[in-house]
Structure 1
Amino acid sequence: MEVCFTGMGAALLERDGHGTAKTYLWMHPIYGATALGMEFLHDRLRFLPRPLRALAYTAVIFGAEFATGWVLRKVLGRCPWDYEKRGWNVKGLIRLDYAPFWYAAGLLFEPAREALLHVTSEALRQTPEYRHAVEAGSVSEPHHPQAVSPEQDAGEAAETFLLAEENERKSTA
C-alpha cells in the first residue's frame, strides 16, 4: 500500500514519469505491530458502526506512526520519514493532512482482514493432510463455513488442519 501511495505521489505530484516509490526496512515490523493493534481494537469495538471503528483505526495508525518515529529518532538520530517541512505535521513525525488516507485504510482494514481469513481457510482446506483426513473420516469437515464469521471459519479450518496433521503423523509413526 505504501509503495503504491508513494509511487502515485511521485508520478502525480512530482511528475516522476517512472512513479518511483520507496519505503523503509523499518516499516515491515511497524506495519505488523500496527495491524496487531488494529486487530486488538477490532475485537473490542465490534459493537460500533464500521465508520466509527475506522476512526479508531486512524487514531491507532497515527499513534503508531508518531511513537515509532519518535523511537527511531531517539535510537538512530533521525526518523526515516521527516515531515518537518511538509503538510500539517506534528513534530515532523505525522502529517494530519494524511488523515483521509489513513481513514480510508481503516475502512479497508476489515474487508481486507476478512478476505485474508477466507483465503487462509481455503488454503488449509486444500492441503493434502486436510483432504486425506476428511476423506478417511478421521476429522469432520466444519459445518457450513458461510453461516459463521470469518474468524470462526478460519479457526475451525485451522483446528481441523492441525487435527488432520496430527492424525497423519500418528499414522506414519
Structure 2
Amino acid sequence: MYYLSIKKQNNTMLLRFIFYGLLGWGLEVLWTGIESGLGGDPRLRSTTYLWMFPIYGLAVFLEPVHDRIRYWPVLLRGVIWTLLIWGMEYVTGGLLRLTTGYSPWDYSGSGPWEIQGLIRLDMAPLWFVTGLLFEKAHDFIKRVAGVL
C-alpha cells in the first residue's frame, strides 16, 4: 500500500511539473509577443526555448515554500519569490551555459543591473508579481488535486 501511495504521489508531482512547465511556456510566449508588439511588430512574434519547459517545471519544488510562507505579509512573500527566482535563473542559466555554451537568456551588456548576463536586478518587480501569480497557480492545483 505504501508503494502505491508513493507512486501516486510521484505521478501527481510529474503532472504538476508538466503543468508549471506549460504555464511558464505560455506566459513566456505571451510576454515576448506583447514585447514584440510594443516594439512595433504587428505580428506579435513570440519566442521561447525548449530548455525553458523543465526550468519552469522546477516550480513544483517551490510548492513547500509557498505552504510555509502562505500567511506571511505579501511584501515579504514577494521579496522571497524574487530572490528564489533570481537564484533559479542564475543557477539554471549558469548550468546551461556551462554545458551547452549558451543560456536561453543573455542579459550581457543590458545595463548596470545585470549580473554575469544571467540575472537582471531591474526585473525585480516582474519576478515579485510572478511569484505571487505562482501562489495562485499552486492554490489552483491544490483545489483540483482530486482530479489529478
Into which bin does the TM-score normalised by the smaller protein fall? 0.7 to 0.9
The aligned counterpart of 2:73 is 49
Q: What is the CA distance between 1:89 and its match in structure 2? A: 1.0
SS in structure 1 of the partner of residue 47 of structure 2: coil
Greater RCO (CA < 8 Å, at least 6 residues apart):
2
The aligned counterpart of 1:3 is 29
In the alignment, structure 1 residue 92 sits paired with structure 2 residue 107: no
* Structure 1 vs Structure 2 CA RMSD: 1.7
The aligned counterpart of 1:21 is 46
TM-score normalised by L of structure 1: 0.64
Flag structure 2 segments of 5+ consecutive residues without an equivalent.
Answer: 1-26
SS in structure 1 of the partner of residue 144 of structure 2: helix
Moved over 4 A (4+): none
Offset from partner CA, 1:32-66 (integer Å, 9 cap, x none): 11x12321211232342233112211111111011
C-alpha distance in structure 2 between counterparts of 1:79 and 1:111, whole Å: 28
The number of equivalent residue pairs is 121
> Which one-letter code corresponds to 2:87 in the other structure?
G
In the alignment, structure 1 residue 114 sits paired with structure 2 residue 139: yes
Flag structure 1 segments of 5+ consecutive residues without an equivalent.
Answer: 125-157, 159-173
> Which one-letter code corresponds to 2:124 in the other structure?
A
TM-score normalised by L of structure 2: 0.74
Flag the structure with larger Rg. 1
Percent identity over the alignment is: 45
